[in-house]
Chain A
């Protein structure tokens, strides 16, 4: 028995079908999420993020391994786990024929909140998600982003001890995404624990205190965005278009990656001028920017997060 918000050990999942060969979606995932943490699962499409989230949220039977939520095993004690969790499903939509206000309120009532408490929480969540102006319009008339915000509002209103959010900000504009981030930060300050999947690297970086990178059903990295970037050996990314021929020389300045004809060099500010001088002498176009999680992801996985499995 553990007091961790989430404790997963060697979780495996193989999808079997009579018509197709078995697909191994999870090949032994282990992770720990401490109470009050915000943790991101990062990975390309098909990496196994949603499969893990579904298992952890009692919606999918694993082929092996265990997941515990605050010490309750999701496999053998799902009824003990369910009151502790709330889930924003991937591509979930609110009832088209309910308004956002009705959606949030009725969901809270179905979870057992009394009317007064549900009403107060509903108004608070709608406010956080900026949905007051459309709160009484049927969801069928709302934009995709507004519907997604309704889903997030529905779940954050619960303030459940553990929240699972599968691509929570998909389809949202930048302002709405930031509103979601802010709400999630507030929730963890109040004690909730959040595990979210995303393939927006900026979201993972801005929101998560820790992250797991998953690739082909395996955890490749467990760390923070900062440590992952530090491991790259520099704080600046210099991209030299058509710089393939400089690869050997560039290695002296830091780690290099050749992607689609462009040479990316991770280096330090101290060596920047020298590296740019090298590129200028070869009459090559150079751009400089801060190292982001994207470079770290590329280094760890070997492919961009946008490349499909």
Chain B
């Protein structure tokens, strides 16, 4: 038997390529992944054209956040409907690799539409080097948080119907309601810390501050950066632990 991987995270690349193939065969889902963002951008374009730069950056962050929901649905479907987690877990593929591979596969499948959004943003409003760096930092951590959170949530339910309402609640509570598609200044000032703690709006606030649509104090910048780091990395580490913990049912 020609085993080629080390034990830690064994099989991550192979399983991410498996998941990538699965996603790419669902090209309709990939193409339609931008529908919500495009509709919201259209509304903004019609109602308040000057907010389009904010909304475009928000759409990029929102798209990366949306990948978490896709991980959640995919992991739940594979486990509940297909029972394929049993096939993979009762084998040498490391549980951590299963989670990480699935997250990376979904990212790979859906990154093209996000790249299109980045291209449109670059063309319409331009992206400075600073903004690009902040965007990369924020969206990476938003993706890490959302994918990890999505995977954890996927393990908590025994049927798909139960999971859908929660998915919708998280999606809207974290991604639509807070100031992601609109300026932080439109959000109640007393609730600014809340927006800076939620990963999507924290990332967006940092981006908005680089393009002049939000003014953040050093403390607020620290809060947004700290929240993104702590929540992104913290939830990711917990998901790594949880992936192994949940291989065996009680």
Contacts and interface: CB of A to CB of B under 8 A. Distances in A.
B81 interface: yes
Contacts of B82: 92-96
Nearest to A102: B21
A110 B88 contact: yes
Interface in A54-106: 54, 57-61, 78-79, 82-83, 85-98, 102, 106
B233 interface: no
A22 interface: no
B87 interface: yes
Given A90-B83, A95-B82, A113-B1, A59 B247 contact: yes
A109 B2 contact: no
A112 B5 contact: yes
Nearest to B81: A93
A61 B86 contact: no
B90 A164 contact: yes
Interface in B232-250: 247-250
B22 A92 contact: no
A59 B23 CA distance: 27
B7 interface: yes
Contacts, number: 121
A198 interface: no
Nearest to B12: A110
A48 B89 CA distance: 21
A151 B14 CA distance: 18
B159 interface: no
A114 interface: yes
Contact of B249 (A54, A89, A93, A114): A54
B58 interface: no
Contacts of A86: 87, 90-91
Given A93-B84, A107-B87, 11 more contacts: A58-B247, A61-B248, A82-B89, A86-B90, A87-B91, A92-B86, A109-B11, A110-B91, A110-B97, A113-B3, A117-B2
8 contacts: A59-B248, A86-B90, A93-B83, A95-B82, A97-B26, A98-B18, A98-B22, A112-B11
Interface of B: 1-5, 7, 10-11, 14-15, 17-18, 21-23, 25-26, 78, 81-84, 86-93, 97, 101, 247-250
Interface of A: 54, 57-61, 78-79, 82-83, 85-98, 102, 106-107, 109-114, 117, 138, 151, 154-155, 158, 160, 164
Query: Shortest 6 CB-CB distances between A and B: which pairs?
Result: A97-B25, A89-B86, A106-B18, A83-B92, A87-B90, A112-B3
